[in-house]
Amino acid sequence: MSTSSQSYPMSGGDDQHSYIHNSSYQKAVIDGVEEKARQYILEKIDLLNLNPDLSTFTIADFGCSIGPNTFHAVQNIIDIVKLKHLKESQGISTHVPLEFQVCFNDLPNNDFNTLFRTLPPSFEQKYFSVGVPGSFYGQVLPRNSIHIGHTSYTTHWLSKVPENVCDKKSPAWNKNYIHCNNLLEEVTEAYKVQFTKDMSVFLKARAEELVPGGLMIALGECFPDDVAMYETWSGIVLDTIGDCLLDMATSGVLTHEQIELFSMPVYFPQYSELERAIEQNGSFTIEMMETTRHPLEAKQLTNDFVTSMFRAFLSTMIEKHFGYTVVDQLFNQLAKKLSKHPLDFEKCKKNMVYYIVLKRNEH
């Protein structure tokens, strides 16, 4: 029942290039906001008011990928809710022990087999797990069925590449660039339109699924309003990957035409753009919207770390467009380019990590 969307899951399985082994950058963010999540959930969610007969508390992670970050995130939420429930039910004799259900959502071609195989062992994992296949750009769970929704580093994946950016006749054609680096105004505009549309669909779907009073927690990256993608270190890495592809076209491994028809369905919004998208939805109240620096950004990330991280992030997409054989060579070249021209994290402009808690309005 989900809308169609282009789908590039994180690298599955658990080999050295998999997302499982290359998700520590995201993990660092989760660790950083853990304490904030704790405080806000304790303050904001009123379990017994949600439903005095509540016996199952349901949590959904939208765009969960394959762990371990998703397991960590949902366990944190459960720990806090348990604490809160215990406090609220003190002195109530009819207190029923709460059961937890966790809905792990991702696209149908996500590697759910690996997700399920790597679930925490049953003595730790005191919740019922279900996998929910479907694009989060559409309703994937029943109305009023979720108490806390969570999504981390997901909505920068657009539902599709904005159509005109791969059209050589359009003023919004992205030429030899492979992502929205903000160097071409019409391209940026096309990405902005798609992002706004997608966020609207995302929030509308979550508004259906969440119970009134339920919380939606969203983490990800955005830019300060005066920063462009090409000025940030991740923008520079993506432009460098674009350069590697051009080198490979020159040496005949792939064609220039292939690059001209490729642009990533990925967009990091500016802060005010993100805020506007949420306010326009109207079903949620922004309880908290904070930004921080990424905890790892202060350090000089190693080239190996950066290469592995972008490989896990991009390989499925690269493989689909350019073919399987290109992946190894591309990321080998990226590693070489990065060692010749190391990223200067001090000079790069900075992304922001956003951390948002939304409350579903009562009807």
Closest CB to a copy of itself among residues 144, 200? 144
In one-letter notation, the amino acid at residue 57 is F
Give min distance, CB of 59 to a copy of itself, in A: 12
Closest distance of CB 113 from a copy of itself, Å: 5
Q: Which helix (H) or strand (E) holds 102?
A: strand 99-106
Choice between 82 and 156, CB closer to a copy of itself:
82
* Helix, strand or coil, per DSSP, at residue 42: helix
Phi, psi (rounded to 5 degrees) for 333: -65, -40
> What does the alpha-carbon distance between residue 169 and residue 257 come to, in Å, rounded to a whole number?
14
Contact criterion met (CB below 8 Å) for 93 and 37: no
Q: How far is the CB of 101 from a copy of itself (least distance, A)?
A: 5
* Nearer to a copy of itself among residue 145 and residue 291 (C-beta): 145
Closest to a copy of itself by CB, 8 vs 223, is: 8
The percent helix, strand, coil of the chain (3-state, each to 5) is 40, 20, 40
**What does the binding site for a copy of itself look like in residue numbers (CB under 8 A)?**
1-2, 55-56, 99, 101, 103, 108-109, 111-113, 116-117, 119, 122, 125-134, 139-145
| Minimum distance from residue 135 beta carbon to a copy of itself (Å) | 10
CB of residue 147 vs a copy of itself: minimum separation in angstroms? Answer: 12
Is residue 228 a contact partner of residue 181, using CB atoms and an 8 Å limit?
yes
| 9 cis-preceded (ω within 30 degrees of 0) | no
Separation of alpha carbons 137 and 160, rounded Å: 10
Query: ∠ at Cα 32 (29, 35), nearest 5°?
Result: 135
From the CB of 3, what's the least distance to a copy of itself, in Å?
A: 8
Quick one: angle between helices 233-250 and 303-322, nearest 10? Answer: 50
Residue whose CB is less far from a copy of itself, 135 or 240: 135
Report the nearest approach of a copy of itself to the CB of residue 122 (Å): 5
Residue 113: closest CA among 66, 72, 74, 151: 66
Nearer to a copy of itself, 117 or 168 (CB): 117
Between 256 and 320, CB nearer to a copy of itself: 320
**CB-wise, 142 or 252, nearer to a copy of itself?**
142
Least distance CB 311 / a copy of itself (angstroms): 22
Number of H helices, E strands in the chain: 10, 7
- From 151, 231, 235, 239, select the one nearest 198 (Cα to Cα): 151
| Closer residue to a copy of itself (CB): 20 or 178 | 20
Amino acid in the structure at residue 45: I
135 vs 174, which CB is nearer to a copy of itself?
135
Is residue 242 helix, strand or coil? helix
Tell which residue, 13, 20, 22, has the closest CA to residue 311.
Answer: 22
Q: How far is the CB of 181 from a copy of itself (least distance, A)?
A: 34
Rounded to a whole number of angstroms, the minimum distance from the CB of residue 17 to a copy of itself is 18
User: Could you give the C-alpha distances from 102 to 75, 105, 235, 297, in angstroms and in order?
Assistant: 10, 9, 34, 31
